[in-house]
Amino acid sequence: MTQPPEPLTQEALEGQLGRAYQALDAAARVRHLAMLQSVQKPEDAVLDAAREGPGLWAVTLCAWDALGALSIIAGLFAAYRMNIQSVDVFTVHLPQRRAAAPVPARARLGGRWNPLGPGTSVMRSRQVGTPPGPALPDTKLLDIFHVRAPEPPAPAFWDRFKGEMGGLLGLMVSGQADRAREAIIARVSRVVGSGQEAERQLFPVSVELDNDASSHYTLLSIRAADTLGFLFAFANALTMLEVNIERAEVRTQEGQVHDTFWLTDAAGRKITSPQRLHEIRAAAALIKQFTYLLPRSPNPAQALRQFNALAHQILARPDWTRELRNLESARVLETLADMMGVSKFLWEDFLRMQHENLFPVLVDTPALEERRSIPQLRLALQGSLESLVDHQAKVRELNRFKDREMFRVDLRHITHRIGFREFAEELSDLAEVTVEQASALCHPTLQGRFGVPSLPNGDPCPWTACALGKFGGRELGFGSDIEMLFVYQEEGSTRGPQVVRTSTYFNDFVRAFLATLETRREGIFELDLRLRPYGNKGALASSLAAFRDYYSGDGFARQFERMALVRLRPVAGDPALGAQVLEARDAFVYSGAPLDMENIRHLRGRQASELTPAGQVSAKYSPGGLVDVEYYVQARQIAVGHGDPAVRVANTLDAIDRLVHGGHIPQREAEELRQVYSFLRRLIDALRAVRGHAKDLTIPPTETREFAYLAQRLQYPSPAALRAAVTERMDYAKGLWEGHPQYP
């Protein structure tokens, strides 16, 4: 049976906390005992605030102890724009532990690393078989802060502060630490991000450890420049280290913090291992620096959780000191903060699946600054393949190369090194080189079985791979699939050993190609051949004659396929055959025959209703979505392309430029189209980056946290500003259908 603790006496309290506590005013010590005794429920927080001078306050806090509690309290002071001048932290052990006591929670700053993962309370994990409700800790906190407030607090100020602190610490005690941590990080980020700290300058941090000053504890001393939220940042750092903190003194002297923490290991012993001491010194400084950068991140709480996981993984490796040194650069830490706070799926690929492969990309800052051209990519890929003999080894290296480069380009965009158009071009260049090399890897194996595919006259049969969609338009973004079709010259046969028809060879070639390029998850570099003649019912590769027959005035191609071919672009294989495919495309798409507008309108209606969840708005398919702009531009290209070959380009922004240059649309309309198209592309890229799902392009409700993060990612000053921009741009795109009845 769980029993309440015995009453805490004045003598026991003063004897437990030692000389530093006994030196405090006697009346204050009596008041402290009463405050501690009044803490009963998980959310109980007792506060006593006394004015010490103009803008100076002494604030004494009592509450239940919990893992990470000091970081919550320090963060709350920062959120209320109060600068901490000094702190004395005391951990009060109750006279008698409860029968079903959890793991001691005295390590409010550091504590044991949580083996159950972020967001799971260690105390809660020990409650299996206990009655419902949280088991209270066996310790309470007694913290004495001296703070400077920017202006005289209102009469109800301290009541509001105490209420918020009690709510947050109550979450910590009841096993909902993740909720409390997310809330305080968001609060601190709003304040620090809006003030003078926005430049995110990293200041030197000195961490020293002393095992001679005490027979029972290891003393950690930290020296650094005083900044708003410093204690909050360092408290978060210590939360990640496997240490207990029994006492802390925080002092600010002439703009420098001088903080001391009394540490033990998990068993309550002094930390003596030189390796462990080195780990604590290095990791504490690094993690503190990263935490300080959190306000630059669109989703600070997510960034902190993911950095915790990275640090945990690194510290578990035998060569962790080398990898940790790689993270010491301010630019690398800024990249981490941006990446982890923007893209959950990108981070998961990095940490869970690709850590050893992609870690060098993250820390290679010079490589993140450069754009690699197609010839440079080709050369780098060939260099990584040339020493390999085995086909499967080459396939693995090709995919590793693709993933590394895609990760590097993603990082360049996430960290604002490049804009969305450069991002699209660099991804498209990578896709082109990857497709080219994957094709080259497939032929030797097939020709070993079938021989070289030949024309009736005995010459080798040319083939070409053509890009469509975003790939064809060099407009790839986060989560874009790779739309393609394959064409060979004409029917013939191979030369053996096993003789098959040319059509059989190239259909097997496309199957081998699909098997060569790995897709880590749905929609991310996923190959899509549905725009080939007859779609999924058609052959994987078509002869040039079959391509011409299907895409002709008497063929079976539908109106949307005619529009899709606007973005066709040969990317691999025989250039002469690629040119013939383009000629056949032009004869069909730019024949001068009018588009069936009713068919296109019907298609848009189906897309809006079938591809968008009920009651939600898709940035791509809803009325006013990206498809409206793309279809409108393609329709204008088709309408005038018969007489003006200059508009026959695959890229949407290039097409707008050509249309205005040819006098087909006015300059004002071109500017509006560019703005709306670019906005919707950036919006879709941001949605995919945040969610890691290529298909879910619904815009979250304005009042949600997800929408707030989206606004930060897109660098809008507020969610309301982003909502206004979404409404304005989508209304314009929807109006394209209404303002030009002859076009969609």
Give the model confidence (pLDDT) of 443-465 as tens digits. 999 999 999 999 999 999 999 99
pLDDT per residue as tens digits for the range 91-107: 898 876 444 333 333 33
Give the integer Cα–Cα distance in Å for 39 and 318: 44
Angle between helix 667-691 and 719-739 (nearest 10): 130
**Per the domain annotation, does 512 fall within a domain?**
yes
| DSSP strand pairing (205-210 vs 527-528) | unpaired
Q: Which amino acid is at 723?
A: R
Range 380-397 average pLDDT:
94
**Per the domain annotation, does 130 fall within a domain?**
no
Q: In which band, very low, low, confident or very high, does the pLDDT at 124 lie, cut at 50, 70 and 90?
A: very low
Handedness of CA 526, 532, 537, 541 (dihedral sign): negative
**Per the domain annotation, does 3 fall within a domain?**
no
675 φ/ψ angles, rounded to the nearest 5 degrees = -65, -45
- Out of 234, 267, 296, pick the residue that ends a domain: 296
CB 496 within 8 A of CB 503: no
317 has pLDDT over 70: no
DSSP letter for each residue of 252-273: EETTEEEEEEEEE-TTS-----
Give the integer Cα–Cα distance in Å for 363 and 195: 29
**Per the domain annotation, does 443 fall within a domain?**
yes
Residues 409 and 509 occupy one common structural domain: no
Residue 466 in 3-state DSSP?
strand
- Tokens 């495919």 found at: 581
Give the integer Cα–Cα distance in Å for 66 and 77: 18
Range 174-183 average pLDDT:
84
Give the integer Cα–Cα distance in Å for 489 and 579: 12
Beta-bridge mates of residue 543: 488
Q: Residue 697 belongs to a domain with what CATH number?
A: 1.20.120.330
Residues 240 and 331 occupy one common structural domain: no
Residues 705 and 613 occupy one common structural domain: yes
Residues 84 and 142 occupy one common structural domain: yes
Low-confidence winner among 44-48, 364-368, 472-476 (lowest mean pLDDT): 364-368
Picking from 627, 631, 610, 613, the residue whose alpha carbon sits closest to that of residue 681 is: 627
Question: What residues make up the domain containing 330?
Answer: 299-418
221 φ/ψ angles, rounded to the nearest 5 degrees = -120, 135
Residues 208 and 305 occupy one common structural domain: no
Low-confidence winner among 11-20, 151-160, 198-207, 538-547 (lowest mean pLDDT): 198-207
Residue 261 vs residue 580, higher pLDDT: 580
Q: Locate 553 and state its tokens.
A: 């005035």
| DSSP strand pairing (56-64 vs 139-148) | antiparallel
pLDDT per residue as tens digits for the range 480-499: 889 999 999 999 999 889 99
Residues 370 and 452 occupy one common structural domain: no
pLDDT per residue as tens digits for the range 675-718: 999 999 999 988 887 665 566 789 999 888 788 878 877 888 88
CB 134 within 8 A of CB 172: no
Predicted local distance difference test score (pLDDT) of residue 105: 35
**Per the domain annotation, does 5 fall within a domain?**
no
Residue 724 vs residue 138, higher pLDDT: 724
Mean pLDDT (the chain, rounded): 82
DSSP 8-state code for residue 341 = H
Q: What percent of the chain has pLDDT over 70?
A: 77
Q: Rounded to 5, what percent of the chain is helix, strand, coil?
A: 50, 15, 35
Range 32-43 average pLDDT:
93
Range 385-398 average pLDDT:
93
339 has pLDDT over 90: no
Residues 625 and 488 occupy one common structural domain: no
Q: Locate 608 and state its tokens.
A: 């809006």
| DSSP strand pairing (527-528 vs 482-488) | parallel
**Per the domain annotation, does 658 fall within a domain?**
yes
The CB density around residue 395, as the number of other CB atoms within 10 Å, is: 19
Q: What percent of the chain has pLDDT over 90?
A: 47
H/E stretch holding 585: helix 575-589
Q: Residue 541 belongs to a domain with what CATH number?
A: 3.30.460.10
**Per the domain annotation, does 19 fall within a domain?**
yes
- Out of 375, 393, 418, pick the residue that ends a domain: 418
Residues 466 and 386 occupy one common structural domain: no
Predicted local distance difference test score (pLDDT) of residue 119: 30
Residues 656 and 584 occupy one common structural domain: no
Predicted local distance difference test score (pLDDT) of residue 323: 60
Residues 335 and 349 occupy one common structural domain: yes
Q: In which band, very low, low, confident or very high, does the pLDDT at 311 lie, cut at 50, 70 and 90?
A: low
636 has pLDDT over 80: yes
pLDDT per residue as tens digits for the range 68-91: 788 899 889 988 888 888 889 898
Number of domains forming the structure of the chain: 4
* 3-state secondary structure labels for all residues of 316-338: CCCCHHHHHHHCCCHHHHHHHHH
pLDDT per residue as tens digits for the range 609-629: 888 888 899 999 999 999 999
Predicted local distance difference test score (pLDDT) of residue 243: 75
Handedness of CA 542, 545, 548, 550 (dihedral sign): negative
Give the integer Cα–Cα distance in Å for 105 and 136: 10
Residues 259 and 305 occupy one common structural domain: no
742 has pLDDT over 70: no
Picking from 510, 500, 516, 487, the residue whose alpha carbon sits closest to that of residue 453 is: 500
Q: Locate 575 and state its tokens.
A: 């250039």
Predicted local distance difference test score (pLDDT) of residue 131: 42
Q: Which residues of 546-571 are buried (b: 16+ CB within 10 A; e: fewer)?
A: bbbbbbeeeeebebbbbbbbbbbbbb
378 has pLDDT over 70: yes
Range 261-289 average pLDDT:
77
**Per the domain annotation, does 399 fall within a domain?**
yes
- Distance from the first to the final alpha carbon of the chain: 74
- Out of 296, 314, 343, pick the residue that ends a domain: 296
Residues 413 and 438 occupy one common structural domain: no
Integer-rounded Cα radius of gyration of the chain: 32
